[in-house]
Chain A
Amino acid sequence: MADFELVAPATPEEAIASLRTGPPGAVAVLGGGTDLLFDLEEGRSAPERVVSLRRLPWRTLEWNGNALTIGSTLPLRTLENDPLLRARIPGLHSAVRAVGSVALRQRATLGGNLGRSAPASDLVPMLLALDAEVLLLGPAGERRLTVDGFVQGSRRTALGPAELIRAVRIPEARPSAYHWQRVRPFHDISHMAVAVAFSPSARAWRVAVAGFPPRPLRVPEAEAALGSARPDADAVHRAAEEIARRAPIVADHRASEEYRRQLVRPLLERAVDATVRGGR
């Protein structure tokens, strides 16, 4: 690994200044480091300066009625252990638990998961189904994007120069579930995943799928097919067919297209059933 300067600013303003004044293209942001350290070791990233976010006051979690705002540097394990999360947003609780292992989640952050925006991210599909927003802070101040607008492709995001993810806002708690298929059930990468939520305010379903490149995405036709708060087996079947028809599912080194398409129906059935039952 090439040597680099490691700085840990104490305020967001200093962090942004440090990103701005660094050699262009040669500054990297460090959250928990569970992705970045790998890139550094592999030489995929060779920054001259690394700006660590560890001292920023962003390790926060705030319920505001039914809305939840999660600071970008909060360790995922702390989010998972929040006493209200599991009851209020069960799908997000499951999705967080799907990321790596306990010891990985003690350092890994939501900001890092979004910053990376991997096609197989377990958090992005759930955030899509929750209509979550990303709060960004940069040299020009704050801005807000939907997660859908923020994630642009495999490892590509709408993050501007010297911009940081400050927090993620989930506008309302929703009955929800996250189901996935992998070789090992825990501590492995999802081949295919389905995130489902029912919005009590919009009386509408949200369905997102992930696991294949380039990025997780919502399938509005499947959401419409589910229809009512308690869809019957036929409706779920139709929704699964819509996903299989519309989602640009492809093969990669982890799984074939055929296999992924076959996973859609059982995963969706389980996720919808869990959402309706209020279980996992």
Chain B
Amino acid sequence: MTPVAIRLTVNGRPESLVDVPSGERLLDTLRWRLSLKGTKEGCRTGGCGACTVLVDGRSTLSCLTLAREVEGSEITTIEGVGRDGTGARVQEAFRAAGAVQCGYCTPGFVMALTGLLKERARADGFDALLEDLGGNLCRCTGYAAIVRAAAALRPGTGAP
């Protein structure tokens, strides 16, 4: 009811946001308050991964996250991910593999992969890598180039 001010760090910059309604999603905070339009809205129901950002280093669906629930957290979006060594490597892998067509899914994929690398989850082989990318949809590429980019980032996954 009473909208309140919250603090977030977004791409390394402290942001103080006022009058944030309880129901405001992080996706809308980023796109409409902060004009960071790189984070995409695909489905708004958790099904496509286009809205993936990092919250304290972990990949998170910004469409299913209330802004006030992540108060005090560090948010990284596609606009800031290249400032970090891991994020920059993922971006370069996408470029090198030609993994971008219309580009709508690309920010989500880059954030999801950056999150996976940062988490340093066990490399369980190629199948597990594909499973871990299963939440991100792409309507253009047929995935082959995206999978190549991902495989290049996780050596030892046994990828072809």
Contacts and interface: CB of A to CB of B under 8 A. Distances in A.
A119 to B, nearest CB: 19
B69 A106 contact: no
Nearest to A77: B58
A186 interface: yes
Interface in B100-121: 112, 115-116, 119, 121
A183 interface: no
Contacts of B52: 103
Contact of A106 (B25, B60, B136): B60
A187 B61 contact: no
A107 B59 contact: no
Given A33-B65, A37-B64, A37-B66, A101 B22 contact: no
A5 B58 contact: no
Given A30-B69, A50-B22, A184-B134, A102 B64 contact: no
A100 B46 contact: yes
A3 B119 contact: no
B61 A107 contact: yes
Contact of B1 (A3, A54, A104, A186): A3
A189 B2 CA distance: 37
Interface in B51-84: 52, 55, 58-61, 64-66, 68-69
B128 to A, nearest CB: 9
A103 B22 contact: no
A5 B45 contact: no
How many chain B residues sit at the interface, stated as a range, is 20 to 34
Interface string A1-20: 11111101000000000000
B23 interface: yes
Contacts of A2: 23
A256 interface: no
Interface of A: 1-6, 8, 30, 32-34, 37-38, 40-41, 50, 52, 54, 77, 81, 97, 100-104, 106-107, 184-187
Given A3-B22, A102-B135, A106-B115, 11 more contacts: A4-B1, A5-B22, A30-B66, A34-B61, A41-B44, A102-B112, A102-B115, A103-B52, A104-B46, A104-B135, A107-B64
27 contacts: A1-B23, A3-B21, A3-B22, A4-B23, A5-B1, A6-B22, A8-B69, A34-B46, A34-B61, A37-B25, A37-B66, A41-B44, A77-B58, A100-B135, A101-B46, A101-B49, A101-B134, A101-B136, A102-B115, A102-B132, A102-B135, A103-B59, A103-B115, A104-B46, A107-B61, A187-B47, A187-B134
Which 7 pairs of residues, A with B, have the shortest CB-CB distance? A101-B135, A186-B134, A6-B22, A103-B59, A1-B23, A187-B134, A106-B58
